[in-house]
A and B are shown apart, each in its own frame.
Chain A
Amino acid sequence: MAVVFDRPHALVDIPMHYCPGCTHGIAHRLVAEALDELDIEGRTVGVSSVGCSYNNYFYFNCDMIQAAHGRAPAVATGVKRSLPDNIVFTYQGDGDLAAIGTAEIVHAAARGENITVIFINNTIYGMTSGQMAPTTLLNQVTTTTPYGRDAKEHGNPIRVCEMLSTLKGPAYIERASLHDIKNIKKAKEAVKKAFKVQMAGKGFSLVELLSTCPTNWGLDPLESLDRVKNEMMEYYPLGVFAGKDLEV
């Protein structure tokens, strides 16, 4: 019988620790499929960050490095400058990338560092039990905004793709969503394109993936997918923010 659906080789065959309904697992699969389809697993070095995905070095079959909170783009820079012919990616949450690691991501992007960033925006700090992230939406209740995020008190949520696309460094920036099959397919193309941009030596690529955190949102998995569609996409519109016309 022909196998029509299988685990990507770049994904290790062990159970993941993510909560039911969490989209981290889907994001991992998309990255692994890209590594398989582009046949780059053997020359890829991934950089894990600090957040719920801190130990995805157990899940990806390529060589992996675990970085300090927010520092993955600097670590990836060190790797890429040492192994310019290898493929280097970071996998970072929104707390990791847009709060503690703001300097690192902005400067890696500004340098046009030839790396790929997979950015998981779930509008919350998942791992540390649901605190406000820089991406937390206005009025969103978190453990550190128990009365809802208030622009006056906490500022407005940061739109990373829009912010980074003001720079000249990034070759390709796209925001996609993981809330339904159609969008997952688009997200897959975006992730794959980001790696292809790197393979072509075009420079910095980043894909933001709108993701769920049912556990800390206090919603069930289906409600969580609805929240992505109905609430997150309004403030975080999908689309290509840099490299619209880039062919790779």
Chain B
Amino acid sequence: MGERLLMKGNEVIAEAAIRAGCRHYFGYPITPQTEIAHYMAKKMPKVGGVFLQAESEVSAINMVYGAASTGKRVMTSSSSPGISLKQEGISYASGAQLPAVIVNIMRGGPGLGGIQPSQSDYFQATKGGGHGDYHLIVLAPSSVQELYELTVDAFNLADQYRMVAMILGDGVLGQMMEVVNFRDEEPIVKADKSWAASGHGMKREHNTVTSIHLDPAVLEQWNIALQDKYKTISEKEQRFELYKCDDAEIIIVAYGSVARIAKNVVQVAREEGIKVGLLRPITLWPFPTKAFEQVIDKPNAFLTVEMSSGQMLEDVMLAVKGRKPVHFTGRMGGMIPKVDDIMAKIREIRAD
């Protein structure tokens, strides 16, 4: 049995990264994720690692780009406005096929917005965010235990597919304290890093890490290779949880901390005699379309619940493909949907 500790979400992300073999962290302070940096600043020197407070998120992501280019496991974390600044570097890292882990503990936007939890960066995380045709692997934990496990997985997936993996959380998860069961040893995937720019020692041809290909024919081939990789990931890496969907007349679709509220709704509704289930995407990209195929026949309707204006809603509609009605309810700006609000929406759907 591994250690069992009561920890704050943000600290667990940092601890998980270190356990996953990450020894390089570059960041810039922003609420509500700064505890990640605090933890790294304390721990990294003790494990022979590097914590560096950059002059901006732009610099932090480019330090990540540099460290990743050498083949090292590297992470940065931020919250919404800082993640916007990182988009340039994320696009370059995606173009150069660099593995890295980026954490976004979302807060309300747009602009400087607020510091309360939100899920309004879903589009940015899953549809590209920066320029160019690319994707990130986007993992959406829903508990502190999952913050731990998915952070470790993010490093493995990033290395395995040579791409950026993002942990998309929100202020609720980052700030929440829960018990975590740590493993004695992490399942670390050893990936080929022979492409890395780490000094050839006069023993091989020189390696180049780059995202530029001025010949359009070459750039198209590069893009085709990226898209092929994304297709493989879409087929192999979809993750989701189905909770009481077998007999559900309404299936709620929710991720992250909202999925926890939705689980309560499932209980409350069932006590009232309304059969509600929960489909919880764990990978937001690739979006778990397979989950919808498993449950599509049973429910009368789907209800998407988000802390946004309805961003994941678009992917839900694409997955449902018009076969069942898809409803939406959500809050914005840092407001959290309540069980009562969601129950009211469920009653409204049933009355229709």
Using a CB–CB cutoff of 8 Å, the interface residues on chain A facing chain B are 41-45, 47-48, 54-55, 57, 60-68, 71, 74-83, 86, 103-104, 106-107
Contact = CB atoms under 8 A, between A and B. Distances in A.
B199 A78 contact: no
B116 interface: no
Given A42-B202, A64-B209, 7 more contacts: A42-B199, A43-B199, A43-B201, A57-B210, A74-B62, A81-B63, A103-B55
B221 interface: no
Contacts of B206: 60-64
A147 B26 CA distance: 44
Interface string B173-204: 00000000000000000000000111111110
Contacts of B209: 64-66
A79 B66 contact: yes
B311 to A, nearest CB: 27
B211 interface: yes
Contact of A104 (B55, B68, B200, B207): B55
Contact of B203 (A42, A44, A68): A42
B50 A82 contact: yes
5 contacts: A67-B62, A77-B66, A82-B74, A82-B198, A104-B59
Contact of A42 (B24, B70, B200, B211): B200
Contacts of A104: 55, 58-59, 62
B56 A65 contact: no
B26 A78 contact: yes
A79 B66 CA distance: 5
A45 to B, nearest CB: 5
Nearest to B214: A55
A1 B211 CA distance: 44
Nearest to A68: B92
Contacts of A66: 96, 208-212
Nearest to B207: A63
B64 interface: yes
A83 B211 CA distance: 22
B84 to A, nearest CB: 15
Contacts of A43: 199, 201
A25 to B, nearest CB: 19
B89 interface: yes
Given A61-B206, A78-B69, A103 B59 contact: yes
Contact of B58 (A48, A71, A82): A71
Contacts of B208: 57, 63-66
Contacts of B202: 41-42
Nearest to B199: A43
A71 B52 CA distance: 16
